[in-house]
Amino acid sequence: MRQFRAPRWLPGGHLQTIWPALYGRRVQGPHPIYQRERWTTPDGDFIDVDFCFSRQRGAPWLVLFHGLEGSSRSHYAEAFADVAQALGWNYAVPHFRGCSGELNLAPRAYHSGDYEEIGWMLARLRERAGQPLHAVGVSLGGNALLRWSEEAGETAGATARAVAAVCSPIDLAAGGHAIGRGFNRQVYTRMFLRSMKPKALAKWAQHPGLFDRERLAAARDLYEFDNLFTAPLHGFRNTDDYWRRASAKPWLEHIRVPALVLNARNDPFVPAASLPGVHEVGRYVTLWQPPHGGHVGFPAGRFPPGHVRAMPASVVDWLRTR
């Protein structure tokens, strides 16, 4: 995976992002059947956690934190489930608030630097597992997982044996500006806002006056959305303050648990120039920056439809050797 190359029939970062999400084969057998639990959060809200349990006593645990507007049914989540089941591991996907199909109750939602929420989820799962966990975060979830690893410092190893961040915008300003321009703006920004705006407006109906409803309804990019919704609802002054304080990149040298940071260099959301070099990370961090893969795509196999198991298999193989 360090030198991953996509098949010739799927060239370029955009195709390597879009095709796997829509058409790539996720599993070798049947799609995962999840068991869902609802947990009450410390502030009286709720999150939903989907599980695939192993039949093997004492089996390792893999935890996946999904990306922006993702869920346990995202293509990468089902592919990781398939890999975990093949190994006989337990698998858990905690949903960020509002991402499990039902609007959460509190005024807040979720964000890229939500390390306190990550820490609470991991602590409950660690108690359940009775052993340190293997944790993966994809895109937004990966940045939040790295922020937790950075904040936890020397104590992280008691909860997680190793962590991995896949295609995460660890420089949120670079990623935010990239997704707001050109083709990205027309395709990906519109896709995200198509689900984020209705959720935010439903949140306003729950809590009238929470933000400027008319301005949010008119927002045309993620910068505006974060300025009106994400930043103020989660304790940040504005989008710039949120992107600066929530980014994992500046603090990678503080990580004290084995951590894999995987980014394709042709990811449309994450400019290659913004990726960290080996001189910017500590000794616990491993960087994989293959030339191909797109954003959480990493397609492999013959046309059609190809499959998306190569990346999850490689990431889990790295985690299990730590």
- Residues noted as catalytic: 139, 267, 295
User: How far is the C-alpha of 67 from the C-alpha of 59, rounded, in Å?
Assistant: 26
From the list 26, 248, 39, 30, the residue with the least C-alpha distance to 149 is: 248
Place of tokens 């109750």: 105
- Rounded Cα distance between 22 and 246, Å, is 30
Distance CA 137, CA 319 (A): 12
Helices (H), the chain: 13-23, 75-87, 115-129, 140-152, 172-179, 182-184, 190-206, 213-218, 222-225, 231-233, 239-246, 310-320
d(CA 97, CA 191): 19
**CA torsion, ordered 140, 154, 133, 51, to nearest 10 deg:** -50
Helix, coil or strand: residue 21? helix
Considering only CA atoms, which of 34, 213, 196 is closest in space to residue 110? 196
Which residues, listed in sequence order, are joined to residue 181 by a DSSP beta bridge?
none
Burial class (CB in 10 A: 0-12, 13-18, 19+), 256: middle
